[in-house]
């Protein structure tokens, strides 16, 4: 299968590397010239949970305009730039290309739809964890399941093909008939953890050690749950507050991506996480004051960098 990854940072490089190891023809597409050059010259260096190795059968580019249309394009830029990145690289797609988003946050499907026909888009979630260490070098920090599915919930031949390719790369993958529920399920966890850790500079596990942050986590997740219920979303698990606290404990030592983004003076995905809960709540008449406060605080921290 010919696969391009738009946004070959931590996660894009991880999926690209594993898919290349599984025998797929992979092209990484990124704007970071040094990263692209390093991969083309030396290969992609991967360390972490599955040991250290260098993946050589992988190409990278900042300018894929010469490339033929792909069978699969995976979008792994930050949610803040999904629309720009997909429209910049639309030549990677023709009528037969499937475009998959595994990004965090709400609104990525809609932003891809501004460039790509809805029938070509599939979505999912990932519980893998990865960080970028240097140009051409990543740390596979945690293993977790990938879920993929058609937006209409059917199990199509293309979903089965992609499932096969992912599995061949060692990515434990499940086909879901409720990807929107999965995306919201992941959103609720991020709503409870990301902004609070970024504001307080706490690691995930510490959020449930202080009663003050634990209370705010509960309130933020309950508001998001009320919005999800008003939207008619079927969540993949019961009791989102208990589930989020469980994830805090399971990832106790992790610094959330939003905390890392703030520490590295990068733009966060706040607008697609707590901010999206506020926006959806406004549309549906559900009040979300705690998420509004968290969104505004992160926005000010970003602006003041
Ligand atoms: P990242 O910042 O490491 O990677 C994003 C990459 O996109 C960067 O390398 C950047 O140079 C590139 N980019 C920026 N503009 C581009 C453009 N116009 N065209 C092509 N590339 C462009 O981010 P990440 O941590 O890999 O996260 C990607 C997505 O996956 C986010 O939605 C994140 O929330 C989600 N996610 C991350 C993790 C994780 O462990 N890192 C886990 C689950 C989900």
CA-wise closest residue to 193 among 208, 212, 209, 210: 208
CA distances from 128 to 146, 156, 216, 302 (A): 7, 24, 26, 26
- Alpha-carbon distance 240 to 186, whole Å? 10
Probe residue for ligand 1, chosen from 7, 85, 195, 276 as the CB with the greatest number of ligand atoms within 8 Å: 7
| 8 A C-beta contact, residue 111 and residue 81 | no
Q: How far is the CA of 76 from the centre of ligand 1 (A)?
A: 5
Report the nearest atom of ligand 1 relative to the CA of 127. 43
User: What is the model's pLDDT at position 173?
Assistant: 98
3-class state of residue 122 by DSSP: strand
Residues of the chain with pLDDT under 70: none
Strand partners, 126: 146
User: What is the model's pLDDT at position 236?
Assistant: 94
Report which secondary-structure segment, H or E, holds 174: strand 173-175
User: What is the model's pLDDT at position 64?
Assistant: 87
Alpha helix (H) residue ranges in the chain: 10-21, 33-42, 82-88, 108-113, 157-168, 179-200, 211-230, 240-250, 257-263, 274-284, 289-303
3-class state of residue 299 by DSSP: helix
Residues in contact with ligand 1 by the CB-under-6-Å rule are 6-12, 29-32, 76-79, 81, 84-85, 88, 103-104, 126, 129-130, 132, 257, 269
At CA 57, angle to CA 51 and CA 61, rounded to 5? 110
Report the nearest atom of ligand 1 relative to the CA of 141. 40
| 8 A C-beta contact, residue 181 and residue 149 | no
User: What is the model's pLDDT at position 234?
Assistant: 97
- Alpha-carbon distance 24 to 167, whole Å? 11
- Alpha-carbon distance 156 to 109, whole Å? 18
Give the CA radius of gyration of the chain: 19
Interacting residues of 58 by C-beta distance below 8 A, sequence separation 6+: 16, 17, 20, 26, 28, 39, 43, 44
Probe residue for ligand 1, chosen from 5, 6, 12, 33 as the CB with the greatest number of ligand atoms within 8 Å: 12
User: What is the model's pLDDT at position 277?
Assistant: 98
User: What is the model's pLDDT at position 212?
Assistant: 98
Report the nearest atom of ligand 1 relative to the CA of 132. 3
CA distances from 8 to 16, 30, 146, 170 (A): 8, 5, 17, 19
| 8 A C-beta contact, residue 247 and residue 189 | yes
Active-site residue list? 186
ipTM for the predicted complex: 0.99
User: What is the model's pLDDT at position 65?
Assistant: 82
Sign of CA dihedral 180, 226, 106, 95: positive
Q: Which domains does the chain have, with CATH numbers?
A: 2-176 (3.40.50.720), 181-303 (1.10.1040.10)
3-class state of residue 184 by DSSP: helix
In this structure, the residue with its CA closest to atom 37 of ligand 1 is 11
User: What is the model's pLDDT at position 75?
Assistant: 98
Report the nearest atom of ligand 1 relative to the CA of 88. 18
User: What is the model's pLDDT at position 196?
Assistant: 98
In this structure, the residue with its CA closest to atom 18 of ligand 1 is 85
């Amino acid at each position: 299968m010919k696969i391009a990854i738009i946004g070959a940072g931590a996660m894009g490089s991880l999926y690209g590397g594993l898919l290349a190891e599984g025998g797929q023809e992979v092209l990484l597409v990124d704007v970071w010239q040094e990263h692209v050059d390093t991969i083309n010259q030396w290969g992609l260096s991967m360390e972490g949970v599955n040991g250290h190795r260098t993946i050589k059968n992988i190409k990278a580019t900042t300018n894929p305009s010469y490339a033929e249309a792909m069978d699969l394009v995976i979008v792994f830029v930050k949610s803040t730039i999904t629309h720009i990145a997909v429209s910049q690289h639309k030549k990677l797609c023709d009528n037969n290309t499937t475009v998959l988003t595994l990004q965090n946050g709400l609104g990525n499907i809609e932003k891809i739809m501004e460039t790509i026909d809805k029938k070509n888009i599939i979505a999912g979630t990932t519980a893998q964890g990865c960080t970028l260490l240097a140009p051409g070098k990543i740390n596979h920090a945690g293993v977790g399941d990938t879920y993929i599915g058609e937006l209409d919930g059917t199990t199509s031949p293309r979903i089965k093909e992609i499932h096969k390719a992912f599995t061949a790369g060692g990515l434990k993958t499940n086909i879901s008939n409720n990807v929107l529920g999965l995306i919201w399920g992941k959103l609720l966890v991020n709503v409870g953890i990301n902004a609070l850790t970024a504001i307080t500079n706490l690691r995930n596990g510490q959020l449930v050690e202080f009663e003050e942050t634990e209370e705010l986590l509960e309130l933020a997740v309950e508001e998001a749950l009320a919005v999800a219920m008003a939207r008619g979303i079927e969540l993949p698990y019961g009791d989102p507050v208990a589930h989020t606290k469980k994830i805090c404990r399971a990832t106790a030592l992790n610094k959330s991506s939003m905390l890392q983004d703030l520490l590295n003076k990068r733009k966060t995905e706040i607008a697609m996480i707590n901010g999206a809960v506020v926006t959806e709540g406004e549309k549906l008449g559900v009040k979300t004051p705690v998420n509004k406060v968290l969104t505004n605080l992160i926005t000010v921290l970003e602006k003041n960098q």
